[in-house]
Amino acid sequence: MSGLNGTLSIALSALAASQEAMTTTSNNVANANTPGYSREVADLAAAAPVEYGSLTYGTGVVLAKIESLRNPILEIQLNQETQQQSMLNSSLGQLQQLQTQFSSATSGIGADISNFFNSLQQLSTDPTNLALRQSVLTAAGNMATDFNTTAENLQTQSANIDQSVVQSVGEVNTLTAQIASVDQQISALENAGQNAGTLVDTQTSLIRQLSGLIDVSVIPTDQGITLATSSGTTLVSGGQSFAISTQLGSDGVQHIYAGTEDITNSLTGGSLAGLIQVRDQEIPSLGSRLDQLAAGLADNLNAANQKGYDLNGNAGENLFVAPPTGGTGAAAGLEVSITDPSLIAASSDGTSGSNGNVAVLSAVANQALANGQTPIESYSNLVFQIGSATSNTSADVDASNLILQQLQDERGSVSDVSLDEEAANLVQYQTAYQAAARVVSTVDGLLSDAVNLGIDAAEE
């Protein structure tokens, strides 16, 4: 096919292709700030040529496809690092909250222990002095109260984390349902040979959000994608989502179930894993160390008080309510059992003026507890534990942030819209359009020359 009509047809294809390419550019500019959007490029191709005798003529241009530019490997790495970063970040948030209870060296349990033993020291100088005796009871009461408060705060934080776990599980289910629904649309479009670029962007963005909550990996299949946790729990498959659920366990905290399988301890990424790590590892560990400390102090001081005689010459009784056997709950339940200051067994010989048993009570400060450490060492060690856990996690978060930032940069270099680039493309397509239009106008002139058989238009 040749001749003026052929030329006109080629010029029309160029007009159409330039317009479509400009639509792509326009869409890129419009989505320059859309999160998760991958820039599209118009893939122009020469139309199939025709052979005319020994000659081959081109037939113009076609828009072969509109392609979204993204690197699937980068997306996978971004998902993985997002899971890691979210886990560390949610852990860090909880740990920072946790450590505020142990942040002061001059107040709190540590200072209470020091003050209590100091009050005994003062009592030794004047064992019959009721004001000094009362100050021992007050110091013991302060110590018990701070143990109670700290243990309660740990419990409260654990309960708050539980609420977050339930919420996060709900969000996971919402996201997996959305991802499954988008996946069905993508499959439908792709089966019809259509470009599903923007839907894939939506899905990628949803999977990124899901990665913030739970460790998922994406497995491409013939029927869309399959999403599974690293321990093998399927969340989305064949356009269907599978909800996970929470249930209160016998240990008093929410467990996560996939069907009937308890997957609480098999999560390795996402904020859920971070929350569970603090709830099931850090808090119970701190709690049991506090219990051990409270039980050790109460037992040793009770034993010491029983060795002496009170102000009335009677054998000493328990100073604290006896802690539960095994120590569990000792910190929350620590309570001074006497209210009468004369019942402190300061005397070792039964006379009121003897301070001999105060030394026995004071010696508890240097007596090793079950963990081989003195009470103050034990507490200081606990502070080190929470401090170093927080500080290490904080360093890990920083490292993970850098990696994530690096990956996002890489993703941006592949997929983000550059306005300069789009402007250049626009100029290019505009020029092409103008040139094609000029061809149309030229052909138009030629055709009118042919139709009017050379009559000068000016003579009319």
Residue 237 CB, nearest approach to other proteins (Å): 33
Q: Which of 253, 263, 278, 417 is the binder for other proteins (CB under 8 A)? A: 417
Q: Is 95 in the site for other proteins (CB under 8 A)?
A: yes
CA distance 248 to 338: 39
Based on the shown chain and the rule CB under 8 A, indicate whether residue 102 belongs to the binding site for other proteins: yes
Of 222, 251, 420, 456, which lies in the binding site for other proteins, with binding defined by CB under 8 A?
420
**What residue type is assigned to position 223 of the chain?**
Q
Beta bridge partners of residue 65, listed in sequence order: 43
Does residue 416 touch other proteins according to CB under 8 A?
yes
- Say whether residue 212 binds other proteins (CB under 8 A): no
C-beta of 379 vs 433, nearer to other proteins: 379
Element (H, E) at 72: helix 72-99
**Which residue is it, tokens 């000659």?**
55
The least distance separating other proteins from the CB of residue 247, rounded to whole angstroms, comes to 34
Length of the chain: 460
372 phi and psi angles, rounded to 5 deg: 85, 0
212, 79 Cβ separation under 8 angstroms: no
Residue 381 engages other proteins in binding (rule: CB under 8 A): yes
* Contact flag: residue 103 with other proteins (CB under 8 A): yes
CB of 132 to other proteins, least distance (A): 9
Choose between 129 and 149: whose C-beta lies nearer to other proteins: 129
The CA distance from 90 to 271, in Å, is 5
Secondary structure of 90-112 as H, E, C letters: HHHHHHHHHHHHHCCCCCCHHHH
User: Is the Cβ of residue 10 or residue 139 nearer to other proteins in the bound state?
Assistant: 139
Which pair of structure tokens corresponds to residue 113? 């222990």
Q: Which of 137, 148, 151 is nearest to 320 (CA)?
A: 137
Does 388 engage in binding with other proteins (CB under 8 A)? yes
Rounded CA gap, 162 and 328, in Å?
21
- Judged by CB under 8 A, does residue 117 bind other proteins? yes
Q: d(Cα 34, Cα 204) in Å, to the nearest integer?
A: 13
Residue 290 CB neighbours (<10 A): 24
Q: Is 418 in the site for other proteins (CB under 8 A)?
A: yes
Stretch that binds other proteins, among 215-223, 276-284, 329-337, 409-417 (CB under 8 A): 409-417
Greatest Cα-to-Cα distance within the chain, rounded to the nearest angstrom: 143
Which residues between 313 and 372 bind other proteins (CB under 8 A)?
347, 349, 351-356, 359, 362
Query: Which residue number, 297 or 383, has a Cβ lying nearer to other proteins?
Result: 383
Q: Which residues bind other proteins (CB under 8 A)?
A: 95-96, 99-100, 102-103, 105-106, 110-111, 113-115, 117-118, 121-122, 124-129, 347, 349, 351-356, 359, 362, 376-377, 379-381, 383-384, 386-388, 390-391, 394, 401, 405, 408-410, 412-414, 416-421, 423-424, 426-427
